[in-house]
Amino acid sequence: MFTLRTAQVLAGSDTKRNIATLLYDNLNARNLRPFLDIKNMKPGDKLFDHINRAILTSKVAVTVFSPNYCDSYFCLHELALIMESKKRIIPIFFDINPSQLDVMIEKVTCSDNEIQRFRWALQEAKDTVGLTFDSCKGNLSEVVTIASDVIVERLVELEANDEDV
């Protein structure tokens, strides 16, 4: 089942029930088989196992960065795994500028090696062209549509590259 996944949507707790869910629903309506933990996991599922498998088997990862994103060990772990596995990432900066992303050591309990790993992954994400959204000024349905279109374009590119090999 996970090998059919084409897009992984990652979001912090403050965006899962708005932009991430809307994006998931839009991708699902396009038959793209997205993965979002609150939509795809059931009670009793192993959190890390399912999410790690979804990341490793997806072709594109969409990460919704928000003001609270870097407070979450899980979000940072998922981002690092995406970057380490060299997945195509589409960042969405939701009410935050890329320059504001940093690991808050006082909020995330982990080793020095993990902090370095997370900071490296954040820098890689900041260096990737993404979409920005300001909830005070923007239209949420518009950014979801644009993001979905970009995901489709990236998947088509990846499929074309696979056929060339």
Domains of the chain: 2-160 (3.40.50.10140)
pLDDT digits (tens, 9 = 90+) for 54-77: 899 888 999 999 998 988 888 899
What are the tokens at 134?
A: 């300001």
Question: What are the tokens at 114?
Answer: 């993990």
Q: pLDDT by residue (tens digit) across 113-137?
A: 999 999 999 999 999 999 999 989 9
pLDDT score, position 110: 86
Mean pLDDT of 88-98: 92
pLDDT at 4 over 70: no
> Per-residue pLDDT averaged across 10-24, rounded?
76
| Sequence-ordered alpha helix ranges (H) in the chain | 21-29, 37-40, 47-57, 73-84, 112-126, 140-164
Residue 147 has what pLDDT?
93
Q: Which residues is 88 bridged to in the sheet?
A: 60
Q: Which of 78, 114, 153, 157 is catalytic?
A: 78
Q: Is 106 a catalytic residue?
A: no
- Give the whole-number percent of the chain exceeding pLDDT 90: 44
